[in-house]
A and B are shown apart, each in its own frame.
Chain A
Amino acid sequence: MNKESVRAILATDCGSTTTKAILIEKIDGEYRLTVRGEAPTTVEAPAEDVTQGVRNAALEVGELAGRPIIDENGDFIKPYADGKGIDLYLSTSSAGGGLQMMVAGVVSSMSAESAQRAALGAGAVVMEVLSSNDKRPAYEKIEIIRRLRPDMVLLSGGVDGGIQKHVVEMAQLFGAADPRPRLGINYKLPVIFAGNKDVREQIERILGKKTALEIVDNLRPAIDRENLQPARQKIQSQFLEHVMAHAPGYPNLMKMADEEIMPTPAAVGLIMQKIAELRHINILGVDIGGATTDVFSVFDGVFNRTVSANYGMSYSISNVVTDAGLDKVGRWMSFTIDEADLRNRIKNKMIRPTSIPYLAEDLEIEQAVCREALRLSFGQHYQLASGLKGLQRGNNIDSMFDEERGGSLIDPLRLNMLIGSGGVLSHAPERWQAALMLTDSFLPCGITQLTVDSIFMMPQLGVLSAIMPEAAANVFEKDCLIELGVCLAPLGASGRKAEAGKEIMQGQIDGEAFTLHSGELLLKKVPQGKTVKVGLQPKRGFDMGAGEGKPLEREVKGGTVGLVIDGRGRPALQLPEEENERIRKMQEWRAVMAG
C-alpha cells in the first residue's frame, strides 16, 4: 500500500476489559486524531470472540464520526471512498492478561536478567525468573515451573563457547517439570532457547519432544555483549503463532488487521523510542492499570521496560499496601484515618474495582496508594534498567556466581520528559493532582517536563509508528499528550539533609524573580502553549543539571498546571516526622498546587 495515499486509519487496543478504538484522519495534509470509541472486550464467554468487541468499538467510532466504517456483514469498508470506510486497520492486544512468560538463565544478574529484559521489551509480563544461582533448591524450581502456566518460556544461559553444565541443568529442570501452556491442554508450550550455542543439541534432546522448542542466537553471546533482538523477535512471532492463535477470535482478528498484531506494551515501547529519537530527549513513562504498572524508559537511546505485575489500582491495590506498608501510604494523606478503616476501604476497592471515589477523602486515599505503586514500580525499573553486570569478573562463569551490579541507566537529573498514563493519572479530577502524584513518586531532579497521556492511545500510536512513524509522531504530539508543565527541583549533594526553611535556589521566570527554600513548593502559572525563559541559580550543594551551585538558563514550556518549583528534597523527599506538622505540610502543598 502506498502510505502517502492513506486517509483514514482505525487502530484498536484490545485490553483485558475494554477495546479502545481511535480514528486517525488526514486533515489539511496532516494526520490527526478525530474520534475515539470503546466497547467491552469480548474474549470471554458468552461471546468468546475478540473481533466482536473490535466491531462494537468500530461501530461507536463510526457513529461518532458520522460515517460508516463497517458494512452490514461486519467487515471493514476498505479503502476509504466517498466519505465511507478506512484505508488501514491496526491493532494491539493485551486481552486475557497479555503475554505471560517465565524466563530462566544461569546467573541471576547476567543471563537471567538479560532474558528478563528481552521478554519485557517484547511486551511480556514476566511471571517468574529462575536461575542456577537463585538459591532455591531444584525441587522448588520444578514445582514453580509446574504450577505456573506461562504462555511461553525463554531459556538462556552461558556465553558462546563457555561452560555448558549450568544451562543444561536448567533445561533438565524444565524437562522434568513438563510445563503446560496456559491456554488449552492440547498444545505444547513454546520454549525459546537463547543461550550458549554449543549446547543446542543437548537442549533439543531434553526439550525437543516435550515442548514447542525454538532456538535463536544467544542473547548474551559474551559477558560484555547483549543481543536481545533475535529473542525479542522470536517471542513476538511465537506470540502470534501460538498464544494469539489459540485465543478466542484472534485468528480472525489477525486476518482483519493490515499489519501484525503487537502486544500492547511492545507498541508503547515503540512510540516512546520514536519520540525520544525525534526530540533527542530522555523519557520515562508509566502506565498504571488496575492490575499492573508498566514503566518504560529511553535513556541515551536505550529502551527499557519493566512491568510490576502486582502493583495496580484495583485488582492488586492491596498488594501495593502490603508491600509498601500502611504507614507509607498514610504519609501522603492530609488527614488522619483509623488504620482498620483504611484497610477495609482498600480491600473494598479491590473487590469492587470499577467503583470510583465519591468523597474527597476516598480520592486522596486512592491517590496515596497510586504514589506508592508508582514509587515501588519505579524502584524495580531503576534496578533493571542497568548496564551489563559482571563485566569485571573475567570469563569464568562459575566465578560469576558472586554477582556484581552495574549502575542504573536512569539518571533523574538528565530526565527530560515524564509521561503518566492510566486512569488514576489521566482522569484525575484536577490536573495538578496528576502533576503532584508524578512528582512525589518519581522525584524528578533538575528540569523535567510533566505530561499525561490523555486517553492512553500510546499503544495504537506505537503500532502505527512501525509503518507510518511521522503520522504517529504528529498525533502523539498534537492529540495524545497533555502538557501539565515543568518540574524544577534542585538535587541536594548526596547524604546531606537540607535544613528546613534554608534558601536553596534563586531564579527568574520570564523576568519575575523567586526564591526557593528547603521544604517549600511553589507554583508559577504558565499556560499551555507558552514558552518562557527560566534562569536558575542553585545554592552551593545543590544541582539543577549544570553542576553543583552552577547557574542554568533554559526555555521551558508551560502547561495546564504550570511550573512546579519543588524544594521538598531530592534525592529523597523530606516529609516532617511529627504527624500534625506532616498533615499541615500536606495541606499546604496541596493548596499551593490547587492555585
Chain B
Amino acid sequence: MSSAYVPGLTVSDFMELKLERRLPLKGKVVVKVGQKVSWNTVVANTLLPGRVELVNVASKLGIAPEEVLQAMRRKEGEAFEKDELLAQSKGLWGFFKSNLYSPITGTLESVSEVSGLAVLRAPASPVEVNAYVNGEIAEVMEDEGVVVRTQGAFLQGIFGIGGESAGEICMFCKSPSEETDINALSREHCGKILIGGSYTTCAFLKKAVECGVKAVVVGGISDRDLKDFLGYDLGVAITGSEQVGLTLILTEGFGRINMAERTFRLLQANSGRWASVSGATQIRAGVIRPEIIIPLSERPERSENAEKAEGVKGLAVGAAVRLIREPHFGELAEVVSLPPEPELIPTGAKVRVAELKLEGGEVMRLPRANLELIEN
C-alpha cells in the first residue's frame, strides 16, 4: 500500500559517499582508479566547441546568395586568422571588388548558397572537472568522468544558491538561534565556510562577499532578502549556477528559523575542518539538495542520542522529525503514535496524521505530509 511521502534530509556524522564527476561532453579522464585526489584535482577535461559567428556574406559583398560559394577564399573546415581575407566578390571587369575580412580567428564551418550565410567557429575552449572533495577515485567512466569516493560527515540543506566551493568550517554563531551579526564579520573570514544560526540578511551576505567568504550556512533568510541579494526574484527552484560571489545554504527554509540542533552540533564538532559545499538545488523529479561534505579519516565517537535516533528507520514511533509547515514550522518533535485512520484537520481535509511530542512538551496531531524525517 502506498503511504504518505515523508521526505528527509540527511544529517550524518559519518558515511561513505560516492560522487559522480561528469564532463558535459565526451573528453579525457586524467586520473586512475585508486588515485588519491584533493577537492581541486582536475580529474577530466574536454574541449567545448568555440563560439559561433554568422556572417552574411551575400549582403556584405553585395552579391546574390548563389554566388557566395564562388566568392569564398576559404573552404569549409579551413582555418583562418582574424582580419584575413575570407571572401571577395568578382567585381565589374575585375575592378570594384568587395572584400570580406574575418571578424574572428577560427575555422569556416559552413556556407549556404541559399541563405548567403557563412558560419565561422572560434577555437574550442578547454573545460575541466575537478574532484570536488578530498578522496580517491573509485571508478573511471571512460571519456565521460569518474566516481570519487570519500568518507566523512554529510549534511543536506533544504535550499541553496551558488555552485561548488570548499573552505574551512568556521562557527560564526554561538547557538542555533543566534542571527548573523554583520559587525562581527571581517577579512579574517576570507576563504571560510561560515556557520550561522537562525537567520541572515542580504546586507550580511554582501559584506561576506566583500570579505572573501566562501559559503554561508544558516537556518533561514527572508525571501525579500534573498531577492535583494540575487538581484531578481527566484521563480523556479533550480539553482547552482548563480554567480553571486559565495554559496548560500539554508538548512531550514525561509524566515527566522533556528538551525536544527543536531545540524548545528555536528557542524560545531567539525569546526576548523576542511569541507566541500554545493548550493545546487533542484526540487523536482531527481531532487538535488544543497550539501556540506566534511571528509574524515575515521569514524568519530558518537553520542548516545545519535545512536538512539539512528536505531529508528522510517516514520515510526520514536522517530525524530522536523515540522515543515505552519503551525510550529521549523520545530523538532518526536513521533508518539501513528493513528491509522485519516483525521479531519482545520482546512476541512481528511488526512493521515501523526501524534507528536514537541520539544516544549506539547503533544499534538499534524499531517504526516508535513513532517520531515531527520535521517542519519
CA–CA, A571 and B33, complex, Å: 68
Closest A residue by C-beta to B113:
A202
Contacts A176-B54, A343-B223 given: A350-B370 contact, CB under 8 Å? no
Closest B residue by C-beta to A427:
B349
Binary interface profile of A, 309-339, with partner B (CB < 8 Å = 1, else 0)?
Answer: 0100011101100110000000000000001
Main secondary structure of the interface of B (DSSP, over half): loop
Closest A residue by C-beta to B157:
A351
Closest B residue by C-beta to A346:
B223
Say which residue of A40, A63, A347 sits within 8 Å of B1 (CB atoms).
Answer: A63
- Judging by beta carbons under 8 Å apart, are A344 and B255 in contact? yes
A-binding segment of B185-193, B293-301, B313-321, B322-330: B322-330
B222 CB to nearest chain A CB (Å): 6
CB of B139 within 8 Å of the partner chain: no
Say which residue of B114, B233, B325, B349 sits within 8 Å of A202 (CB atoms).
Answer: B114
CB of B158 within 8 Å of the partner chain: yes
Say which residue of A175, A319, A348 sits within 8 Å of B235 (CB atoms).
Answer: A319
Contacts A17-B285, A206-B112, A291-B284 given: A355-B54 contact, CB under 8 Å? no
Closest B residue by C-beta to A94:
B285
CA–CA, A186 and B22, complex, Å: 13
Contacts A139-B52, A168-B112, A363-B347 given: A319-B158 contact, CB under 8 Å? no
B322 CB to nearest chain A CB (Å): 10
CB of A1 within 8 Å of the partner chain: no
- Judging by beta carbons under 8 Å apart, are B367 and A356 in contact? yes
CA–CA, A17 and B51, complex, Å: 38
- Judging by beta carbons under 8 Å apart, are B253 and A355 in contact? no
Contacts A37-B2, A343-B223 given: A350-B285 contact, CB under 8 Å? no
Which A residues lie within 8 Å of B51 (CB)? 139, 142
CB of A362 within 8 Å of the partner chain: yes
**Beta-carbon contacts under 8 Å, B55-71 to A:** 65
Binary interface profile of B, 106-142, with partner A (CB < 8 Å = 1, else 0)?
Answer: 0001101011110101000000000000000000000
Binary interface profile of A, 190-229, with partner B (CB < 8 Å = 1, else 0)?
Answer: 0000000001001000100000000000000000000000
CB of B351 within 8 Å of the partner chain: yes
CA–CA, A166 and B114, complex, Å: 9
CA–CA, A84 and B346, complex, Å: 43
Which A residues lie within 8 Å of B284 (CB)? 16, 97, 290-291, 315
- Judging by beta carbons under 8 Å apart, are A356 and B369 in contact? yes
Main secondary structure of the interface of A (DSSP, over half): helix
- Judging by beta carbons under 8 Å apart, are B114 and A168 in contact? yes
**Beta-carbon contacts under 8 Å, A175-193 to B:** 175-178, 180, 185-186
- Judging by beta carbons under 8 Å apart, are B370 and A185 in contact? no
CB of A591 within 8 Å of the partner chain: no
- Judging by beta carbons under 8 Å apart, are B370 and A96 in contact? no
B175 CB to nearest chain A CB (Å): 22
CB of A169 within 8 Å of the partner chain: yes
Interface size class of B (residues with CB under 8 A): 35 or more
- Judging by beta carbons under 8 Å apart, are B347 and A357 in contact? yes
CB of A5 within 8 Å of the partner chain: no
Binary interface profile of B, 225-240, with partner A (CB < 8 Å = 1, else 0)?
Answer: 0100000011111000
CB of B25 within 8 Å of the partner chain: yes
CB of B366 within 8 Å of the partner chain: yes
Which A residues lie within 8 Å of B281 (CB)? 351
B291 CB to nearest chain A CB (Å): 15
**A95, A97, A359 pick with most chain B CB within 10 angstroms:** A359
Which B residues lie within 8 Å of A551 (CB)? none
- Judging by beta carbons under 8 Å apart, are B234 and A318 in contact? yes
Binary interface profile of A, 335-371, with partner B (CB < 8 Å = 1, else 0)?
Answer: 0000111011111101111111111101100000000
Say which residue of A206, A310, A356, A427 sits within 8 Å of B236 (CB atoms).
Answer: A310
CB of A429 within 8 Å of the partner chain: yes
A81 CB to nearest chain B CB (Å): 27
- Judging by beta carbons under 8 Å apart, are B283 and A356 in contact? no
Which A residues lie within 8 Å of B224 (CB)? 339-340, 343
CA–CA, A96 and B121, complex, Å: 34
CB of A246 within 8 Å of the partner chain: no
- Judging by beta carbons under 8 Å apart, are B237 and A362 in contact? no
Closest A residue by C-beta to B58:
A165
CB of B345 within 8 Å of the partner chain: yes
Contacts A44-B286, A139-B53, A169-B115 given: A318-B255 contact, CB under 8 Å? no
Contacts A96-B285, A202-B112 given: A356-B349 contact, CB under 8 Å? yes
Binary interface profile of A, 15-52, with partner B (CB < 8 Å = 1, else 0)?
Answer: 01100000000000000000001111101100000000
CB of A402 within 8 Å of the partner chain: no
- Judging by beta carbons under 8 Å apart, are B222 and A340 in contact? yes
CA–CA, A202 and B116, complex, Å: 12
CB of A430 within 8 Å of the partner chain: yes
Contacts A95-B285, A168-B115, A291-B284 given: A318-B235 contact, CB under 8 Å? yes
A335 CB to nearest chain B CB (Å): 14
Which B residues lie within 8 Å of A175 (CB)? 109-110, 119
CB of A172 within 8 Å of the partner chain: yes
- Judging by beta carbons under 8 Å apart, are A172 and B236 in contact? no
CB of A474 within 8 Å of the partner chain: no
CA–CA, A215 and B121, complex, Å: 27
Which A residues lie within 8 Å of B159 (CB)? 351
CA–CA, A427 and B348, complex, Å: 11
Which A residues lie within 8 Å of B226 (CB)? 347
- Judging by beta carbons under 8 Å apart, are A172 and B112 in contact? yes
Which A residues lie within 8 Å of B121 (CB)? 176
- Judging by beta carbons under 8 Å apart, are B115 and A165 in contact? yes
Which B residues lie within 8 Å of A429 (CB)? 347-349
CA–CA, A315 and B366, complex, Å: 23
Which A residues lie within 8 Å of B236 (CB)? 310, 315-316, 318-319
CB of B144 within 8 Å of the partner chain: yes
Say which residue of A97, A341, A352, A430 sits within 8 Å of B7 (CB atoms).
Answer: A352
- Judging by beta carbons under 8 Å apart, are A362 and B255 in contact? no
Which B residues lie within 8 Å of A466 (CB)? none
27 A-B contacts (beta carbon < 8 Å): A43-B285, A60-B1, A60-B2, A95-B285, A96-B285, A138-B54, A139-B51, A165-B116, A168-B114, A172-B110, A172-B117, A172-B119, A175-B119, A176-B121, A185-B24, A318-B234, A318-B235, A318-B237, A323-B235, A343-B223, A346-B223, A348-B255, A351-B283, A352-B7, A352-B325, A355-B369, A356-B349
- Which residues of B are interface residues toward A (Cβ below 8 A)? 1-2, 5, 7, 24-26, 49, 51-54, 65, 109-110, 112, 114-117, 119, 121, 144, 158-159, 222-224, 226, 233-237, 253-255, 281, 283-286, 324-327, 329, 345-349, 351, 366-367, 369-370, 372
Q: Which 4 A-B pairs have the closest CB atoms?
A: A319-B235, A429-B348, A343-B223, A16-B285
A139-B51, A290-B284, A358-B370 given; name 11 further pairs at CB < 8 Å.
A44-B286, A60-B1, A165-B114, A175-B110, A176-B54, A178-B49, A206-B110, A315-B237, A358-B346, A358-B347, A430-B348
- Which residues of A are interface residues toward B (Cβ below 8 A)? 16-17, 37-41, 43-44, 60, 63, 95-97, 138-139, 142, 164-166, 168-169, 172-173, 175-178, 180, 185-186, 199, 202, 206, 290-291, 310, 314-316, 318-319, 322-323, 339-341, 343-348, 350-360, 362-363, 427, 429-430
